[in-house]
Structure 1
Amino acid sequence: MAAITDLDRVCFGAGQRRVSETDRLERWMPDESASYELTGITGAAIPFIRAMEARRVRSAEEHGLSSIEFRALFMIAEAGSLRPKQLADQLRVTNGAITGLSDRLIAAGLLQREAHPNDRRSLYLTLSPAGHTVMRSMHSGLASMLERAVEGIDEQELAATTAALRHMTESIRE
């Protein structure tokens, strides 16, 4: 019979047999009936985030855009302009992927490449007038949807929720 180790005693108590590695792992793995239900603010925030993401994807599709194309346009709109490398870093994709993505958005008339005013080797991606129109439309639709979503919530509760979400966002970013 195999010797019982100190780890076996701590994890499983003093027994007569050596515990296999599989037995050890199963002891620490939750069983299939374990609940993964989120509660409290997390239980409320996660479904909200998922619903917002689903609505954003639908809005992008309504405008003929993929999710990553929308994200790229949004990031460029928010920054005013971005170098392709900056956009690649923010989207966490390769520079090659950004070349293809920006080529598609330029061909669609939503983006334009502009030369850096002080460095002719650098290019910036900016929204075209049509890109601004699409972003305004999408932003307006999402803002209207959120305004309807908060109807019936009193101002103090909404202000407290807003403050809590901002605090949580900053804590997560750290």
Structure 2
Amino acid sequence: MSTRADLTTPVTEVSDASLRAFVGYKMKRAFNVLQADLTRTLDPFGLRMLTYSALALIVENPGLRPSQLATALSVERANVAVYLDQLEQAGWVRRASAPQDRRAYAVFATVAGRHLYDRAQAAVQAHDRRMLEGLDAAEIEVIHAALARIEGQG
């Protein structure tokens, strides 16, 4: 239902006031800002948000299986295979037979992958600080706690 009185007048300014009443809409708009800055941050490393996230989990959990990586990233296993292919082709991870199940394989970061992760991690930490500029520690804690509760973790 339109709230404009004259439906023949062209729209010159779009109002999203009704959508801004929804937390999800505000979260998506904030995420778009965060993602755009993170994309710029990771581009010099040859990483994207998901390949960086996959590399971080692999570095921090050596020997994890692709199914575990998919669960941790909340993505389909087929998508994880694509990320792993990209990381492996770049020389940042390697796949090896899982010691407990030779039918499965485990993923490990290479030395180059660990070095890349260290540099990218520092850049992502700077990105995070930049995105939170102007907020005090209490506000940041509220954001973390609220997001955890929404996610069902808190």
**One fold, TM greater than 0.5?**
yes
> Compared with structure 1, are the counterparts of its residues 168 and 108 closer, same or farther at alpha carbon in structure 2 (3 Å cutoff)?
same
CA distance in 1, matches of 2:34, 2:105: 33
Tell me, yes or no, if the aligned pair for 2:56 and 2:117 is still in contact at 8 Å: yes
Q: Match of 2:81, SS? A: helix
Task: Name which of 123, 133, 137 aligns with 2:115.
Answer: 133
Tell me what 2:36 maps to: 54
The offset of 1:124, in angstroms, is 1.2
**Backbone CA RMSD of aligned residues:** 3.2
CA distance in 2, matches of 1:149, 1:57: 13
Counterpart residue identity of residue 108, structure 1: A
Task: Name which of 120, 140, 148 aligns with 1:162.
Answer: 140
Kindly indicate whether residue 102 of structure 2 is the aligned counterpart of residue 120 of structure 1: yes
Q: Is there any run of 5+ residues in structure 2 with no aligned partner, and where?
A: 5-14
Matches within 5 A, 1:4-23: none
CA distance in 1, matches of 2:108, 2:95: 6
Task: Name which of 76, 84, 93 aligns with 1:93.
Answer: 76
- Higher relative contact order at CA 8 Å, sep ≥6: structure 1 or structure 2? 2
Kindly indicate whether residue 148 of structure 2 is the aligned counterpart of residue 173 of structure 1: no
Number of residue-to-residue matches in the alignment: 140
Counterpart residue identity of residue 120, structure 1: R
- Percentage identity across aligned positions? 22
Give me the TM-score of the superposition, normalised by structure 1.
0.62
The offset of 1:136, in angstroms, is 1.1
